Amino acid sequence: MKKWLALLVIIFSSYQWFVLPQYSVAESFTDTSTTALKSNSTVQYSVAQNNNALIQQAFDHQQENVQVQGLGTVVKLLPDDNKGARHQRLIVKISSSITVLIAHNIDLAPRIDAISVGDEIQFYGVYEWNNKGGVVHWTHDDPNGRHLNGWLMHQGKTYQ
């Protein structure tokens, strides 16, 4: 009886592992989605363009460390965060239901001086969930090479 039970557990586990699809934040996308998901301390990256739906899914599933590229409208300019590394902060609306905080390190990348509320901005960085919509950071080159190089694009100019 114990052998049958053990065999049944092995068969069931094998079925789940090899036959059932593995969960991914980008499971509903057939294009080249940008995804960076934690999986047993490994991060898997693939690339997308303006994939705000991925950010929405990352928010819905409370994901962290998700490499994203998106597009949105600046709805608020916040004062710079000057504690530690200095960051320019913008609230960007990416859909009717979600806004994200863009935290752009201005010690490592140029500041966007000419940005205003209502401007369109594109971004590429790492999304971190929070209950207000989330934060996108690492929107600059990483001098230590630990992260993909991110950027912001405003009025055709790239800030990296």
Dihedral over Cα of 83, 103, 37, 94: its sign: positive
Q: The pTM is what?
A: 0.68
Q: Which helix (H) or strand (E) holds 57?
A: helix 52-60
Asked if the structure places residue 18 within a domain, the reply is: no
Tell me the residue range of the domain where 52 lies: 27-159
Query: What is the pLDDT, as a whole number, of residue 4?
Result: 53
Quote the number of domains for the chain.
1
Distance CA 52, CA 55 (A): 5
Asked if the structure places residue 1 within a domain, the reply is: no
In percent, how much of the chain has pLDDT > 70? 69
Q: What is the pLDDT of residues 17-57, one digit of tens each?
A: 333 333 333 333 323 333 333 332 233 233 334 488 889 99
Asked if the structure places residue 52 within a domain, the reply is: yes
Asked if the structure places residue 65 within a domain, the reply is: yes
Q: What is the pLDDT of residues 51-106, one digit of tens each?
A: 888 899 999 999 999 999 999 999 999 999 999 999 999 999 998 889 999 999 99
In contact, 67 and 36? CB cutoff 8 Å: yes
Asked if the structure places residue 43 within a domain, the reply is: yes
